[in-house]
Structure 1
Amino acid sequence: MPAAALKPKPLPTQSTAKRPVQLDLPYAPVAKRPLPAGRPREWYVTHNRRLKAMRLAIALLDSGVYVPNQARNETIRSTARRIGVHPPSDTTCHMVRALMRYTR
């Protein structure tokens, strides 16, 4: 008997199943807490910029933009408009591309 016949078949995935596979329900977001007081203003600006960049990177990945070269400033800004976020600065757009680069 060939070795391939002895291996158990893997479970079907969304792309290989004959019928749609039931996916887990989306997670419930964590309750927001106030940011810690007493930090310099620049810390809050950087923190919020990172959060915005992460939201935009996730939205771009969900929309099919997987490579940082595909994420031009115009693409990132149109995605921000679509998800209801204020238009990002050039620095934030650069951060979005950096996040996409390091997740690969």
Structure 2
Amino acid sequence: MPAAALKPKPLPTQSTHRRPVLFDSPYEPVAKRPLPAGRPREWYVAHNRRLKAMRLAIALLDSGVHLPGQAPDETIRGTAERIGMRPPSDTTCHMVRALMRYSR
């Protein structure tokens, strides 16, 4: 009898494709903390711009926009309106596309 016939078959992989993944605990957002004091104003502006761009990139990915070429400024601004955010500037729209590009 060949040696391959004596080996037990490996168990099938556990795929989450057909069944949802259960979490141990419910999702809770991280508690917000105040930003550190004493930084220049430009640092706070850039920090908040990055946070806004990240939220918009996540919302676009969730809505099915997966490539930066699929996200012109109008689409990004429409997504911002839909999730209750003020319309982003041209710079923030550019940052959203950059985030989508580098996440691939």
With normalisation by structure 2, the TM-score equals 0.84
- The corresponding residue for 2:10 is 7
Identify unmatched segments of 5+ residues in structure 1: none
1:13-34 Cα distance to aligned partner (Å, 9 max, x none): 23xx2xx424436621111111
Larger Rg: 2
Of residues 57-66 and 24-33 in structure 1, the stretch that sits farther from structure 2 once superposed is 24-33
Identify unmatched segments of 5+ residues in structure 2: none
Distance between the aligned counterparts of 2:102 and 2:33, measured in 1? 28
Q: Relative to structure 1, is the Cα distance of residues 67 and 47 closer, same or farther in structure 2, using a 3 angstrom cutoff?
A: same
Distance between the aligned counterparts of 2:33 and 2:82, measured in 1? 26
Distance between the aligned counterparts of 2:98 and 2:83, measured in 1? 20
Q: Percent identity?
A: 70
Q: Relative to structure 1, is the Cα distance of residues 77 and 64 closer, same or farther in structure 2, using a 3 angstrom cutoff?
A: same
Q: Relative to structure 1, is the Cα distance of residues 96 and 34 closer, same or farther in structure 2, using a 3 angstrom cutoff?
A: same
Q: How far apart are residue 9 of structure 1 and its match? A: 1.1
The correspondence of residues 8-47 of structure 1 with structure 2, limited to 5 A, is 8-14=11-17, 17=18, 20-24=19-23, 27-47=27-47
Q: How far apart are residue 48 of structure 1 and its match? A: 0.2
Residue 6 of structure 1: SS of its match in structure 2? coil
- The corresponding residue for 2:80 is 80
- The corresponding residue for 2:103 is 103
1:62-95 Cα distance to aligned partner (Å, 9 max, x none): 1111101001100100000011110000000000
Distance between the aligned counterparts of 1:7 and 1:29, measured in 2? 39
